[in-house]
């Protein structure tokens, strides 16, 4: 049996990582030693229920559940995990927050902890513990989970969304490399449509995919829902330019994007119907794992988002923070569980298992081998560092989180691009909704 000591754990677990990935009994022994050294003493007989987003990469789920099992055995407690779709996480977490019943921990999307700041356990001690040990937090991740000087949750990871494309289709369209600016990207999309190899981006209520690309276009033109003081500024010349550009893009899309959820573009790409979209690395992972999709896996690649007129990256990546509700009967167990998740002997193999689908928010994990083991993984390593918080230039908080959850910006673009409203009407509707949300 492997000998794990308090001293080796406090030194950062480097010896454990060097020895290779821990599995089975070795992982349980490490978990026992970690529990003895941790600042949170798990309540006797504790029971934790964890709600998380739906698994998209099987190896990620396997690594996560191995960690859960080790934590359970080491602390002699119950930990139950269930998953929900991206679209269902926020409403179910809101019901739990309002009723005081449900899961102890909710692992959700974007600024979830900001939706009910008074209903969650403060996590400053967990954030400090992990930040000091692993090189500090990325800026957007920290902003996502903080209110003033309080950590309302912990930024577990970012689900990076970047351009997924078919190389042969891009080259046939006359492009040697993926475009780096908005005008060239539009030309690529037009050429793809002309060649009957179209692209497409979600204009439905896709919590991750739709929010990501419409905010990228809005911010890339210098438009924002609110300014730094949370004054609503969506009705602006910059927004009009963003909408006009988006309409030109949407005219090149494959049909049906108005009803797409977060899984729709995956299916269309893997069926060979779609040749360019924004997504996590899950399309590539699925293609690599299916012998019948080898041609797609070999032919596809990933690229950073093109940069808009503002001249700098304006990415909205999908943060996946975890929170603990105040009503939990096991707050120490909840904090210990979160800290254990992100400790190196757990998190290193977890990142590898996610195959690039999850990007770390702690700087020390830049060195994880997942980012170099396949060149098509590389761009996803940038997701946490390049992202803006979901609030844009505004203040991260409950209102910004609600604006994302309620698809204010997505619907503004969709209403115009799909012909439901003219450009002035679509912006006016969004402005009215935003002012109601941000009123004092």
Question: Is residue 391 pLDDT above 60, yes or no?
Answer: yes
The three-class DSSP label of residue 191 is helix
Residue with tokens 């993926």: 178
Verify that 135 and 15 share a domain, yes or no.
yes
User: Are 244 and 309 within one domain?
Assistant: yes
* Residue 310 pLDDT level (bands cut at 50, 70, 90): very high
pLDDT at 417 over 50: yes
Contacts of 278 (CB under 8 A, 6+ apart): 161, 162, 163, 164, 201, 209, 212, 213, 265, 305
Q: Please indicate, yes or no, if residue 397 is contained in any of the structural domains.
A: no
Q: Is residue 391 part of a domain?
A: no
Same domain for 275 and 322, yes or no, is no
- Statement to judge: residues 289 and 210 lie in one domain: yes
Domain assignment present for residue 394? The answer is no
Helix (H, G, I), strand (E, B) or coil at 82: strand
Task: Please determine, for residue 20, whether its predicted confidence score (pLDDT) is greater than 60.
Answer: no
pLDDT value of position 122 = 98
Residue 22 belongs to domain with CATH number? 3.40.190.10
How is 347-410 classified by DSSP, letter by letter? HHHHHHHHTTSSB-SBGGGGG-GGGTSSGGGGGGGGHHHHBPPTTTTS--SHHHHHHHHTTHHH
What is the arithmetic mean of pLDDT over 218-227?
A: 98
Note whether 380 and 431 are same-domain residues: no
Residue 59 structural domain? 6-160+317-386
Does 23 lie in the same domain as 59? yes
Same structural domain for residues 433 and 291? yes
Tell whether 398 is covered by a domain: no
Looking at the fold, whether 228 and 254 belong to one and the same domain comes out as yes
Percent of the chain at pLDDT > 70 equals: 95
Cα torsion at 195, 313, 153, 430 (round to 10°)? Answer: -70
Region 78-87: what's the mean pLDDT?
A: 93
Answer whether residue 57 shows pLDDT above 90: no
Is 392 part of any domain?
no
pLDDT for position 22: 74
Q: How confident is the model at residue 58 (pLDDT cuts 50, 70, 90)?
A: confident
Residue 16 is predicted with a pLDDT of 37
25 pLDDT tier (thresholds 50, 70, 90): confident
Q: Are residues 145 and 197 in the same domain?
A: no
Mean pLDDT of the chain: 93
Question: Do 80 and 142 have their domain in common?
Answer: yes
User: Same structural domain for residues 283 and 424?
Assistant: yes
Strands, E assignment, 241-288: 276-279
Q: What is the pLDDT of residue 251?
A: 98
- How many other CB atoms are found less than 10 A from the CB of residue 279? 27
Q: Which residues pair with 301 in a beta bridge?
A: 165
Q: What's the pLDDT band for 363 if we cut at 50, 70, 90?
A: very high
Does a structural domain hold residue 1? Answer: no
pLDDT per residue over 251-282, tens digit each?
A: 999 999 999 999 999 999 999 999 999 999 99
Q: Is residue 401 part of a domain?
A: no
- What's the whole-number mean pLDDT along residues 8-19? 39
395 belongs to a structural domain: no
- Mean pLDDT within 164-188: 98
pLDDT of residue 11: 43
- The answer on 358 and 251 residing in a single domain is no
Residue 335 tokens read as 């904090």
Cβ atoms of 273 and 254 closer than 8 Å? yes
pLDDT at position 142:
93
For residue 111, name the pLDDT band (cuts at 50, 70, 90).
confident
**Which single residue is written with the structure tokens 């190196």?**
344
Give me the number of domains the chain comprises.
2
pLDDT at position 440: 57
């Amino acid at each position: 049996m492997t000998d794990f000591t308090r001293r080796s754990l406090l030194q950062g677990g480097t010896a454990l990582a060097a020895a290779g990935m821990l599995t089975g009994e070795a992982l349980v022994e490490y978990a026992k030693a970690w529990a003895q050294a941790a600042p949170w003493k798990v309540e006797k007989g504790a029971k934790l229920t964890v709600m998380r987003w739906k698994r998209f990469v099987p190896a990620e789920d396997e690594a996560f559940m191995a960690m859960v099992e080790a934590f359970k055995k080491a602390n002699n407690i119950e930990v139950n995990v269930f998953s929900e779709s991206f679209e269902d996480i926020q409403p179910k977490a809101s019901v739990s927050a309002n009723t005081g019943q449900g899961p102890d921990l909710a692992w959700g999307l974007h600024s979830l902890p900001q939706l009910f700041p008074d209903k969650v356990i403060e996590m400053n001690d967990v954030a400090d513990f992990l930040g000091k040990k692993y090189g500090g937090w990325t800026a957007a991740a920290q902003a996502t989970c903080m209110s003033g000087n309080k950590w309302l949750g912990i930024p577990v990871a970012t689900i990076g969304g970047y351009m997924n494309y078919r190389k042969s289709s891009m080259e046939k369209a006359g492009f040697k490399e993926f475009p780096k600016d908005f005008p060239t990207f539009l030309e690529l999309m037009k050429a793809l449509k002309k060649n009957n190899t179209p692209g497409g981006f979600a204009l439905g209520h896709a919590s991750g995919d739709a929010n990501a690309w419409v905010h990228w276009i809005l911010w890339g033109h210098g438009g924002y829902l609110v300014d730094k003081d949370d004054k609503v500024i969506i009705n602006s010349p910059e927004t009009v330019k963003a909408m006009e550009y988006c309409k030109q893009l949407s005219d090149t899309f494959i049909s049906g994007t108005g009803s797409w959820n977060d899984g729709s573009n995956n299916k269309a790409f893997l069926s060979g119907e779609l040749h360019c979209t924004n997504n996590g690395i899950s399309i590539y992972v699925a293609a690599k794992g299916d012998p019948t999709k080898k041609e797609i896996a070999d032919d596809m690649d990933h690229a950073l988002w093109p940069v808009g007129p503002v001249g700098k990256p304006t990415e909205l990546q999908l943060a996946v923070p975890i929170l603990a509700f105040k009503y939990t009967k096991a707050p120490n167990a909840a904090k210990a569980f979160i800290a254990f998740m992100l400790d190196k002997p757990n998190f290193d193999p977890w990142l590898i298992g996610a195959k690039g689908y999850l990007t770390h928010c702690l700087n020390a994990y830049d060195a994880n081998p997942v980012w170099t083991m396949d060149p098509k993984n590389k761009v996803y390593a940038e997701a946490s560092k390049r992202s803006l918080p979901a609030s844009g230039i505004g203040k991260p908080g409950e209102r910004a989180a609600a604006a994302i959850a309620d698809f204010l910006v997505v619907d503004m673009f969709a209403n115009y691009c799909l012909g439901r409203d003219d450009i002035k009407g679509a912006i006016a509707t969004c402005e009215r909704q935003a002012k109601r949300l941000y009123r004092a």
